[in-house]
Amino acid sequence: MTGTPREDGSAEQSFTQGELRRWRAAGFGREEATAWREAGVTDPGDARLWATAAATPATVTAWQRAGMTPADAVRWHELGVAPHDAARRHLAGERPRRVRWLARLVTPEPELPDPAVTQALRRLLRAGVPAAVARAYADAGWDGDEALEWARRRVDQGDARLFRTLGFTAAEAAALGRPALEVMAAWWGAVPLAEVAAWCAAGLTPEEASAQRGAGVTAEQAAVLRALSSFGADEALPPPGT
């Protein structure tokens, strides 16, 4: 069964008829809606709030990188605080408040972010990854596509790098629910590091894996158990935007 026909040729930025109606009801034409979605804003109501805060698809990154909600941005804007200053204050834990005009004058304009960082951030936001999680991956230098499965499962980006080095998939790492260093420490010396993911994802403890390996069971046989395990099921994914 095929889905609702799309109105343009882009797999990621295309619209269903219902989606386009929602954007039009919010006051956006197709081109504007596409620009907002490419900027990582997928909800027309959020786009209206960003626009109220004087953000555009080209400038909204300053707010997004700070993990701010559109409502936060509107409040800071109403108080006359510039986006880059508001973003800095938000990251420091401040809530929207009036800022003395002299303090505004001495706040330097930020350097423009690396385009690769912006691209990764927007790729993750379009996929429904929360801004704070997306920012951590983007700022750490992850490619958006490379980070997607890890970020969608809310795996800490530092843990993700180590889990990936050990051979775990994003779903397996999320199912473990433990820090990567803790997992590595538990398995240290039990089996070779290159085999940790296969034995662990097969459902064995380090002690069991060591005993099985000593009895002649190979990592390839453990990999069969790994493939049959429940780790990696898509059900482990949180709903978009949570």
Full-prediction pTM beyond 0.85? no
pLDDT in tens, 22-79: 999 999 999 999 999 988 898 999 999 999 888 888 888 878 877 788 888 888 788 8
Give the pLDDT band (50/70/90) at residue 128.
Answer: confident
pLDDT in tens, 133-169: 988 999 899 999 999 999 999 999 999 999 999 999 9
pLDDT at 53: 86
Cα-only R_g, the chain: 22
- SS3 annotation, the chain: CCCCCCCCCCCCCCCCHHHHHHHHHCCCCHHHHHHHHHCCCCCHHHHHHHHHCCCCCCCCHHHHCCCCCHHHHHHHHHCCCCHHHHHHHHHCCCCCCCCCHHHHHCCCCCCCCCHHHHHHHHHHHHCCCCHHHHHHHHHCCCCHHHHHHHHHCCCCHHHHHHHHHHCCCHHHHHHHCCCHHHHHHHHCCCCCHHHHHHHHHCCCCHHHHHHHHHCCCCHHHHHHHHHHCCCCCHHHCCCCCC
- Residue pair 71/53 in contact (Cβ under 8 Å)? The answer is no
pLDDT in tens, 73-123: 888 788 887 777 777 777 767 877 766 554 444 455 555 567 888 888 889
- Distances 18 to 3, 24, 98, 220 between C-alpha atoms, Å: 12, 10, 40, 49
Report the range of poorest mean pLDDT among 1-5, 145-149, 168-172. 1-5
pLDDT in tens, 206-242: 999 999 888 888 878 887 877 776 544 444 445 455 5
Q: Which residue's entry shows tokens 């050990």?
A: 166
